[in-house]
Amino acid sequence: MNLLAQLRNPVLPELLGGGTSPDYTKGGEVVGSLVGNIVGLIFIFTFFLAFLYLLTGAMAWVTSGGDKSSLEAARNKITHAIIGLLIVAATWAIMSIVAQFVGFKDFPKLPIPTIEQTITK
């Protein structure tokens, strides 16, 4: 039962529902996987930035040369980086717990429901 017009893009690989004979039922899986991967990349990027900020704070601490204002700035930078790392880790943990309660077994692969799936249930 085709309820909506299906777009076909022969340039897309078979995994994304493209090619010469695309499978329109994979649309929800592809979008869910794409959203999950983007969220995962954002978490990795923010973790990397917070860790890099921590390293620059450590380098500022080492190169401060005993100057009180430089030590204060380096200590603040390290403190802010650790808080950032804790926020990223807590956000990931909360999202994973909420995903388990909502019913997503594998958080990075979010199943997006389609009209076809809704009608058959």
DSSP letters spanning the chain: ---SPPP--TTS-GGGT-SSS--GGGHHHHHHHHHHHHHHHHHHHHHHHHHHHHHHHHHHHHTTTT-HHHHHHHHHHHHHHHHHHHHHHHHHHHHHHHHHHHT-SSTTS-----HHHHHH-
**Number of structural domains found in the chain:** 1
Task: Provide the residue range defining the domain that includes 98.
Answer: 46-106
Asked if residue 97 is part of any domain, the answer here is yes
Asked if residue 37 is part of any domain, the answer here is no
Asked if residue 86 is part of any domain, the answer here is yes
Asked if residue 17 is part of any domain, the answer here is no
Asked if residue 35 is part of any domain, the answer here is no
pLDDT digits (tens, 9 = 90+) for 46-103: 999 999 999 999 999 999 888 899 999 999 999 999 999 999 999 988 988 887 787 7
Asked if residue 1 is part of any domain, the answer here is no
Asked if residue 116 is part of any domain, the answer here is no
Asked if residue 91 is part of any domain, the answer here is yes
Q: Is the pTM value of this prediction over 0.75?
A: no
